[in-house]
Amino acid sequence: MFQSPKLKRNDPCWCGSGKKYKKCHMLQDQQEHASQPRTAKSKYAKTPAEIEGMRKAGKFNGELMDFVRGHVAEGISTLKLDILVNEYTRDHGHVPATLGYQGFTRSICTSINNVVCHGIPSESEILRDGDIVNVDLTTIVDGFHGDSSETFLIGRVAEEVKKLVRVTAECMIQGIRAVGPGIPLAILGQTIEPYARRYGYSIVRQYTGHGIGRKFHENFSVYHHESNEGDNVSLQPGITFTIEPMVNMGGYQVSTDKVDKWTVRTKDGLMSAQFEHTVLITAEGCEVLTLTPSQKEKGVIIDIPGMPLEISAAI
Ligand code: MF3
Ligand code: CO
Ligand code: CO
C-alpha cells in the first residue's frame, strides 16, 4: 500500500489540520500517487477478447440471479435452490463453477443467518420465516467466470437484521463507487470498513474478494478491511475482480465447521450478511458485469425484494 514516505497512518496530517493522516489527506495522496502511471498497462489487464468473455459470463450470471430471486422463499430447501441453479445453468449450456471445486459438492453456496459463507445446500435445510440467506452463484460461460451473491430476507425479518443486510449492500455499493482507473485497490478496505464500523459492525478478514477470469480466483486478493498486507494493485482498465464484503453484526472472527470442512460461521454466533458483484475497471470508472441487461440499463446494482427503497437511493 502506498503511504507518504514521511508519514504513517496515525501521524498528524502534514496539512496542519491536527487530524490523523489516515483521517485527513492519506486517501487523496494515495490516489494522486496511484494515478501517475495511469497510462501504464497493468499486467492484470485483460485483452479486449477476454473482456468480452467476462461480459458474457457476467450477463449470464446476472440472469441466473434474477431466476433465483423468483424461487428464494419460506419453505424451500437450500438443496432445491441448488438443483434449480444447476438445471438452469446446464440448460443454457454453461457450467456451475463450485461443483467439484476443491471438493465442494454443490452448484451454489447457501449461507443462513450466522453462516458467513460457503454453506453447503442440503435437503434438510429449509428457509424459515425470519431467516436471512446469502445465495452465492458462480458460473463458467465459455471458459470465463461470473461470480455474484445476494442476501435475501425470508418473511418477517427483525428490523436490526434488516439493517445489517441493508448496510452490507451499501458497503458493496460504496466499494463499487470508489474504484476506477488509477485508484489503488486498497481504497476498498479504506471505504468499506469505516462505513460498517459506523453501525458497530465488523468486516470479515479471513475471506476476501479476488481477481477473476479464466480462473475462479486469480491474480490478487481483495481486502474489504483496512490492511497493510494486500497487494498494492493500481487499478487500470481491463482488470476484473469481485467486491464481496462479509459484514458481521458482532466480531469479525469466524470458524470453519470441523465436520464438513466448508461451512464458515461467526465465532460469536451473531448474524452475518454478504453481497457480491464481479466488476471491470474501464477508462471511465467501473462496470458491474454481473447484472441483467435491463438492470445495467436502469443503473440498478441490487434489486432485493422486500428491502426498503433506501438501497436504490444509495446507488
Ligand atoms: N463464490 C465464492 C466466492 O465468492 C467461492 C465459493 S468456493 C466454494 O469466492 F467452493 F465454496 F464453492
Ligand atoms: Co461468490
Ligand atoms: Co467471489
CA–CA distance, 240 with 288 (Å, rounded to integer): 10
The rounded Å distance from CA 242 to ligand 3 centre is: 6
CA–CA distance, 48 with 15 (Å, rounded to integer): 43
The rounded Å distance from CA 118 to ligand 2 centre is: 9
What is the reported pLDDT for 7?
A: 72
- CA-nearest of 37, 31, 58, 43 to 280 is 58
What is the reported pLDDT for 63?
A: 97
102 CB contacts (<8 Å, ≥6 apart)?
none
CA–CA distance, 231 with 185 (Å, rounded to integer): 8
- Please give the number of the atom of ligand 1 that sits closest to the Cα of 104: 10
C-alpha cell at 149: 451473491
- Please give the number of the atom of ligand 1 that sits closest to the Cα of 97: 12
What is the reported pLDDT for 47?
A: 97
Averages of pLDDT over runs of 10 residues in the chain (315 residues) are 59 78 75 56 96 98 96 97 98 98 98 98 98 98 98 95 94 94 96 97 98 98 95 94 98 98 98 97 94 86 59 44
Determine the Cα angle at 55 with ends 230 and 273, to 5°: 50
Indicate the helix (H) or strand (E) that contains 167: helix 159-178
Return phi, psi of residue 168, to 5°.
-65, -45
Indicate the helix (H) or strand (E) that contains 140: strand 132-141
- Please give the number of the atom of ligand 1 that sits closest to the Cα of 106: 12
Q: Out of 1.10.10.10, 3.90.230.10, 3.30.200.100, 1.10.12.10, which CATH number does the structure's domain 45-307 have?
A: 3.90.230.10
Ligand 1 pocket test target in 98, 120, 257 with most atoms within 8 Å of CB: 98
The rounded Å distance from CA 209 to ligand 1 centre is: 10
